[in-house]
Amino acid sequence: MSVCIITGSAGLIGSEAARHFAGLGMEVVGIDNDMRSRFFGEDASTSWQRSRLESELLGRYEHREIDIRDDEAIDRLFQFYGDDISLVVHTAAQPSHDWAAREPKTDFSVNAQGTLNLLEATRQFASQAVFIFTSTNKVYGDTPNRLPLIEQEYRWEIDPDHTYANGIREDMSVDQTLHSLFGASKVAADVLVQEYGRYFGLHTACFRGGCLTGPNHSGTQLHGFLSYLVKCAHTGTPYSVFGYQGKQVRDNIHSADLISAFDHFFRQPRIGEVYNIGGGRFSNCSMLEAIHLCEELCEREMTWSYQNDSRVGDHIWWVSDISKFQSHYPDWKLTRNVQDICTEIHAALQERTRETVLA
């Protein structure tokens, strides 16, 4: 039996990966101790998703409530499955700029030390496995904010003659920039994943995502912009926009499209690769554009306010250039744009509301 180990298995990307790879006939071992509820409160708990996975994937999914910082527990798990492990999908993380500044040691231990524990366990006990890491575009710090941007009515846009007009490539420097502590811990993890590929010959890849989203997201104010925005529109909860006149741009990739990219890499792995991954020019929006879309979707105005102070290390404009990954895997493509994603998130929220009422 081919085993797939997924960290953060009850989160957005982890749960999508669990369903996908279980559907391919793999035995999925999920690692998730619901630290998201500690980071962001009970509303952000992923326990509901864990219950769904255990119910839907009965016999194909085994849940382990392990902290990835516990290297002895990680080693025992990897040693138990050994060479049967063919894939490791590492999505567990502390994902917030603001939260990282509250507890820098916790942030670094989860993002960097936890990643090292998993890489070393893979090297020792499952060296033929493919190791996929969910990195972040925040490894580039605020360097994107130095790009020549043009203010438009509802968004910032890059100078159309700039080399990054089609999106930001992997050749952008990660040096001499303000990362935020979260970005710094993810840089450390990202470089470790590359190094275990190049130095030890493991099949590793860093997927530097923009906004990863979809209906499985437990979005909160500090993390999960599109999911949380749709939730606020659905429930009438006030929403806050931080800085840049609300014209900051994000590309958004649906979790299913990201897992499809993971699958392509898994089937034809490479060593120590790095990919910028996101919605690209196909799927992106500004905050104001997203608010307008949610208002149309929910057929009512949102209650939102503007705060002039932007978040530390936040991007004014981010659109991923995904051409490198597409050149390596030409059969992969994006299938859902921002409007598709918001519609799907809204439908899922309506269904969960109905389930709660009936319960």
Per-domain residue ranges of the chain: 3-358
What's residue 210's pLDDT? 86
Name the one residue in this structure whose structure tokens are 């949380």.
228
Q: Is the pLDDT of residue 120 over 80?
A: yes
> In degrees rounded to 5, what are phi and psi of residue 165?
-60, -30
Cβ proximity of 228 and 24 under 8 Å: no
Nearest to 234 by CA among 297, 280, 290: 297
Residue % of the chain over a pLDDT of 90 = 82
Nearest to 339 by CA among 248, 240, 213: 213
Dump pLDDT digits (tens) for 137-191.
999 999 999 999 999 999 999 999 999 999 999 999 999 999 999 999 999 999 9
Within 13 Å, how many C-alpha atoms sit on residue 85's CB side?
A: 29
Name the one residue in this structure whose structure tokens are 């493509």.
333
User: Which DSSP category does 244 fall into?
Assistant: G
Q: Is the pLDDT of residue 327 over 90?
A: yes
Considering only 42-56, 83-97, 191-205, 331-345, which range has the smallest mean pLDDT?
42-56
Cβ proximity of 86 and 24 under 8 Å: no
CB atoms closer than 10 angstroms to residue 224: 25
d(CA 334, CA 96): 26
For the domain 3-358, what is the CATH superfamily, name and number?
A: NAD(P)-binding Rossmann-like Domain (3.40.50.720)
Dump pLDDT digits (tens) for 26-80.
999 999 999 888 888 887 788 988 999 999 998 899 999 999 999 999 999 999 9
d(CA 219, CA 217): 5
d(CA 91, CA 8): 5
Cβ proximity of 10 and 46 under 8 Å: yes
First vs last C-alpha separation in the chain: 38
DSSP H stretches of helix in the chain: 12-23, 35-40, 47-56, 71-81, 97-102, 104-108, 114-125, 180-198, 225-235, 255-267, 287-298, 323-328, 338-358
β-pairing verdict for 156-158 and 203-209 = unpaired
Place 349 in a pLDDT band, splitting at 50, 70 and 90.
confident
CB atoms closer than 10 angstroms to residue 246: 17
Q: Is the pTM value of this prediction over 0.85? A: yes
DSSP string, 266-335: HHS--SSEEEEES-GGGSEEEHHHHHHHHHHHHTS---EEEESPPPTT--SEE-B--HHHHHH-TT----
Within 13 Å, how many C-alpha atoms sit on residue 265's CB side?
A: 30
d(CA 219, CA 140): 23
One-letter identity of residue 103: E
d(CA 217, CA 213): 6
In degrees, to the nearest 5, what angle opens at C-alpha 270 toward C-alphas 170 and 186? 45
What average pLDDT does the structure give for the chain? 93
Place 222 in a pLDDT band, splitting at 50, 70 and 90.
low
d(CA 49, CA 287): 27
d(CA 356, CA 105): 37
Q: Is the pLDDT of residue 312 over 80?
A: no
